Amino acid sequence: MLTLATTTPGEPEIFAAIQGEGASMGRPCVFVRLSRCNLACEWCDTAYTWHFEGDNRPHRDDLAFDRQANQIALDEADVAARIAALGQTRLVVTGGEPLLQGAALARLIAQLPGVRVEIETNGTVAPHSALDPLIAQYNVSPKLAHSGNPADLALLPERLAAFAADERAWFKFVIAERTDLAEVEAIVAAHGIAPERVFLMPEGRDSETLRQRGAWLADAAVARGMAYSDRLHIHLFGDTRGT
């Protein structure tokens, strides 16, 4: 079984859209959003996947979600059928933290021959041995200090080193202030991450914030030989589920 997020109570968050971020930005795909996360980013725009009632970890919206209304468990065959019905050849598994459900994901992907699979991960969980050979691309987003996560939970040297050595991995850092760039530079240098595999993306859940931060962040990316990533889905659809 897989534990998924929902768009509305009882409806799993499985949808066709364009990829809004990172190395595959603009490409059509199917998204599957899983529930549960081992980290707690204060600015997370999918807090309904983990910030349930009774969870006292801080989030800037100060909202707690009803678990029953925002989670649904489905058999892997059911999820595979829903993905296939959307008619795309690229699948992006996001969350939450998808690698927490590695064994079930491996069973799902085995039922989707010919589909290119990307995993969006915070980079703290090792891929399951049955899952890893099935993945075409890892979109790794290590969490900086401004996320509110302690570094000893969010920045695990052995996991960052493993992804840095994996040619399938791209790195995306969420940037809120100019001071965040020094932290990115330190991580990239410490783990030998090639700058051309790094995306700098502004933190924000509305177009105005993204444009304001993007104005200086794009120049910062050029100066460091890194790529800039926008958040196209925010500009097109706003901060909504199922987009």
pTM over 0.75: yes
> pLDDT tens digit string along 15-66?
999 999 999 999 999 999 999 999 999 999 999 999 999 999 999 999 999 9
Domain 2-174, CATH 3.20.20.70 — does that match? Answer: yes
**E-assigned strand segments in the chain:** 2-8, 11-12, 14-18, 28-33, 71-74, 90-94, 116-121, 137-140, 169-175, 198-202, 227-228
Question: Which residues of the chain fall short of a pLDDT of 50?
Answer: none
Domain ranges of the chain: 2-174
CB 166 within 8 A of CB 197: no
- Whole-number pLDDT of residue 16: 98
CB 137 within 8 A of CB 121: no
When the pLDDT of each residue in the chain is averaged and rounded to a whole number, the result is: 97
> pLDDT tens digit string along 166-178?
999 999 999 999 9
